[in-house]
Amino acid sequence: MQRLGTARWVAIAGIAVLVAAVLVLVWAALEHANPESAGGEAEPVPTFTLGVPTQSPSPTPTANSVNLEQTRFLSIGSEIWWRATAGSCAGPAPVVERSSDQGKTWANVTPAYLGIAQVQTLEAFSARDAELVAAMAGCEPQALRTYTRGEFWASYPDVLAASRYIDPRNAGSVHLPSGPVPAPCPTAFGLHAFGDMIALVCDGRAWSWSGEEWVALAPEGVLAVTVDPPEILVAHTSPGCAGVAVSRVLPVDQGSAAVVGCAEGTDAATAAAIDTAGADIVVWAGDALVSIGP
């Protein structure tokens, strides 16, 4: 019986030692997980990345968003007015229209029967005739002319060779008769040319071609341009205009722009196009066609 009592006490003592050892280990683990800072205050929990560097979120772009499919063109002859939406080789078809009553009514004269896919330029080259550079099957550019007020169109390879236009397959490249040149941005649109003057829109700015390089023009928030030698007309947003504002810019004095008017009632949040009709400037934006007098 004495031996049994001795063995029992030995077992109890062993269990007590084991419990004490476990308590010591738990205390050490808690101290390791919650060390005191130098000032005795809790420190922030460290953060970790798993092989992927952290980056600050990119700022939201403030420039006007560009939908190249909705780019507009407006060209006014003394008898016939012409307008078009660009369309896309891989998306919606373009629409080409003409008006014989100064924009009051329009007739659809899109040469769909030729397989037109995307309009790049539009110009009234006489009182009643027009030409356009357009992408056809395979997004290959062709120059089309009409001498029948838009009823029939035909391809003119010699006109194409002499034309200035943005490559329909690459909006960052501009075709000149001397060869292609890079546009000032990857998404150029709205190119207009007359004589030696060329203007287009890139990154919310108007740009003109100096013969060697692209020159940025004032102002900002540009929606459309047209050439009215020796100046470039720029349609743009403006805090003081409840619609589309229009300014005149001399390419040789690109730092200044003279505001000539505001096309009130037009929507400056949509695609736009401008051209001259005699002494007036005509703005096409949204569903409105507004003239600004001298």
Indicate whether 185 pLDDT > 90. Answer: yes
The pLDDT score that the predictor gives to residue 43 is: 35
CA distance 249 to 83: 23
Q: What does each C-alpha distance from 286 to 134, 188, 273, 276 come to in angstroms?
A: 23, 21, 10, 18
Rounded average pLDDT over 289-293:
95
Indicate whether 50 pLDDT > 60. Answer: no
Edge-to-edge strand list for the sheet holding 231-236: 222-228, 231-236, 243-249, 258-264
Helical ranges in the chain per DSSP H: 2-33, 157-161
CA distance 46 to 69: 49
Q: Locate 100 and state its tokens.
A: 């014989």
The pLDDT score that the predictor gives to residue 200 is: 98
The pLDDT score that the predictor gives to residue 253 is: 77
In sequence order, which residues have a C-beta less than 8 Å from that of residue 194 and are 6 or more positions away? 227, 228, 229
Own/partner contacts of 259-263, CB < 8 Å, gap of 24 or more, are 260/233, 260/292, 261/292, 261/293, 262/238, 262/292, 263/235, 263/288, 263/290, 263/292
Q: How many residues can be counted in the chain?
A: 294
Q: Locate 205 and state its tokens.
A: 């700015």
The pLDDT score that the predictor gives to residue 146 is: 98
Indicate whether 217 pLDDT > 50. Answer: yes
The pTM of the full predicted model, rounded to 2 decimals, is: 0.77
Q: Locate 240 and state its tokens.
A: 């003081």
CA distance 261 to 293: 8
The pLDDT score that the predictor gives to residue 130 is: 98
The pLDDT score that the predictor gives to residue 284 is: 97
- 61-101 pLDDT per residue, tens: 334 456 889 999 999 999 999 999 999 999 999 999 999 99
Neighbouring-strand partners of residue 89: none
Indicate whether 260 pLDDT > 60. Answer: yes
Query: Nearest Cα to 68, choosing from 186, 234, 221?
Result: 186
The pLDDT score that the predictor gives to residue 4 is: 37
- 153-163 pLDDT per residue, tens: 999 999 999 99
Rounded average pLDDT over 24-31:
40
For the segment(s) 68-292, the CATH number from 3.20.20.105, 1.20.1090.10, 2.120.10.30, 1.10.3300.10 is: 2.120.10.30
Going from N- to C-terminal start, the domains of the chain cover 68-292
Query: Nearest Cα to 284, choosing from 85, 138, 45, 80?
Result: 85
Residue 245's H or E segment, with its range, is strand 243-249
3-state class (DSSP) for residue 20: helix
Cβ pair 189, 71 in contact under 8 A: yes
Q: What does each C-alpha distance from 128 to 37, 82, 132, 151, 291 come to in angstroms?
A: 85, 9, 14, 12, 20
Cβ pair 172, 183 in contact under 8 A: yes
Query: Nearest Cα to 130, choosing from 171, 159, 101?
Result: 159
